Copies of this chain bind each other. A is one copy, B any other.
Amino acid sequence: MKRGLNETCNQFFSTLANPTRLAILELLRKGPKNVTEISKTLNQEQSMISHNLKPLENCNFVFAKRKKKERLYSLNKETIEQLFKIFAYHAEKYCPTEGKCLTDRDLQERRRKEAANRLYVTRH
């Protein structure tokens, strides 16, 4: 397959395409946090936070530095704030009611329900 924008670009957006990771990024906007703090604030298992921090760090969306026994994670504000800004602008303009932006999955579910409904009407 023809791929101009390379694997790296896919990686870039894939790393952002996860609710846990987005939550981490949003939390880190407030300032640096260690793993335990993130884990507790987001009410998620520590191992899950670590697993999700890894791709964020690989992509340089967050930076880490040791502080005694802890690892302090901080946000790459330059990149992330810009991205969130674009998103916010786009969402404001195009998804004001959040009524758009449906997944295939949503559409599938909707169809299922419509079909069930049709069936229900037909039955009577």
Binding site for B on A (CB under 8 A): 1-20, 22-23, 25-27, 41-44, 51, 54-55, 58-60, 79, 82-84, 86-87, 89-91, 94-95, 98, 100-104, 107
Other-chain residue from B10, B59, B100 in contact with A60 (beta carbon distance below 8 A): B100
| Chain A, interface SS category | helix
A100–B59 CB distance below 8 A: yes
Chain B neighbourhood of A25, CB < 8 A: 5
Chain B neighbourhood of A102, CB < 8 A: 58
A101–B23 CB distance below 8 A: no
Chain B neighbourhood of A89, CB < 8 A: 79
Chain B neighbourhood of A9, CB < 8 A: 22, 84, 87, 91
* Complex Cα gap A51–B41 (Å): 38
A7–chain B nearest beta-carbon distance, Å: 8
* Complex Cα gap A90–B66 (Å): 24
B98–A6 CB distance below 8 A: yes
Chain B neighbourhood of A103, CB < 8 A: 11, 14, 55, 58
B13–A17 CB distance below 8 A: yes
B2–A23 CB distance below 8 A: yes
Chain B neighbourhood of A2, CB < 8 A: 23, 41-43
